[in-house]
Structure 1
Amino acid sequence: MIIEHVAIWTAQLEALKDYYIQYFGAQANDKYTNVQKQFQSYFLSFASGARLELMSRPDIPANANDPISAQYLGLIHLAFGVDTMAEVEAKAAELRAAGFPILSGPRKTGDGYYEFETLDPDNNRLEVSAVAE
C-alpha cells in the first residue's frame, strides 16, 4: 500500500502551486474548479511519484497554530528527500536567499540524516533531508 497523496487547504492557491513547482520540481495538473462549491484545486506530482493536492475554498478558516515555534498533535511536516548532503545545503541556501525562513539546520540528526526545516508560503513545515555521509 502507498500513500496516494497529501492534501493542503490554502488561501493562496496559485502562490503555493508556484512555490512547489519552483523550489521542489513539482508538475501541476490543470486547475480543477467546482463553481457551485467555490472549490479549486491542483494536484502536484513529484518525480518520485508522490502527489500533493492543493485545495482552496473561501469558507475554510485559517489555522490557529503557531507555525514557527509550536509543535502540536497531528500532521506536522512534509519531508522531501534528496541524494546528498550537498543538495540539502544548496536547497537551504536557495530558500534562505529567496526569503524563506530556515527554522533549524542544516544539521546531522541522531538517526543518521542531514536535514533542515523551513516553511512554505502558507507556513506549512517542510523538511529536506539526505542520508548523512
Structure 2
Amino acid sequence: MSIEHIAIWVRDLEGMRTFYQTYFGAMPNEKYTNARKGFSSYFLSFPDGGPRLELMQMPGIPDSQNDPMVQFTGLIHLAISVGSEADVDALTERLRADGYTIAGEPRRTGDGYYESVVLDPELNRLEITA
C-alpha cells in the first residue's frame, strides 16, 4: 500500500498551483471543474514520483481557524524532499527573498533530518528536507 494523494482546500487555486510548480517542479494535470458544485481542482505530480497533491477550490469552504505558527492535532505539515542540504538552504533563501514566511530555519533535527519550515501562500506548513 502507499499514499496516493493528499488534498488541500485553497482559496486561490491558480496561485497555489503556480507556487508548487515554481518552487517544487510540480506538474499539474488538466484543471477539473464541476460547474454544478462550483468545484475545481488540480492534481500535482512531483518530479521524483510519490504521492500527488490535490489542490481543491469550492465556494463555502471556511478558512482554517488554526494558527500556522502553532502545532495542533491533525495534519500539520507536508514534507517535500529537494535532494540535499545545499538545496534546502538555497530553496529556503529563494522563498525568503520572494517574501514567504520562514517558520523554521534550516537545521538538523534530533532524528537526523535536515530541514527548514516554510509557509506556502495560504499558510500551510511545508518542511523542505534534504
Aligned to 1:46: 46
Farther off after superposition, 83-92 or 13-22 = 83-92
Q: How does 1:102-117 map to 2 (within 5 A)?
A: 102-117=102-117
Task: Output the aligned Cα RMSD.
Answer: 0.8
Aligned to 1:95: 95
- CA deviation after TM superposition for structure 1 residue 129, in Å: 1.0
Q: TM-score, normalised by structure 2?
A: 0.96
- CA deviation after TM superposition for structure 1 residue 47, in Å: 1.4
CA shift digits 1:75-111 (9 cap, x unpaired):
0000011221111100101100110011112011111
What runs of 5+ residues in structure 1 fail to find an aligned partner? none
Does the residue aligned with 2:72 lie in a helix, a strand or coil? coil
Give the number of aligned pairs.
Answer: 129
- CA deviation after TM superposition for structure 1 residue 113, in Å: 1.4
Does the residue aligned with 1:33 lie in a helix, a strand or coil? strand
**Identical pairs, percent:** 56
Does the residue aligned with 1:16 lie in a helix, a strand or coil? helix
Q: TM-score, normalised by structure 1?
A: 0.94
Aligned to 2:61: 60
CA shift digits 1:5-51 (9 cap, x unpaired):
00000111000000000000000111100000100000000012220
Counterpart CA distance in 1 for 2:117 and 2:109 is 12
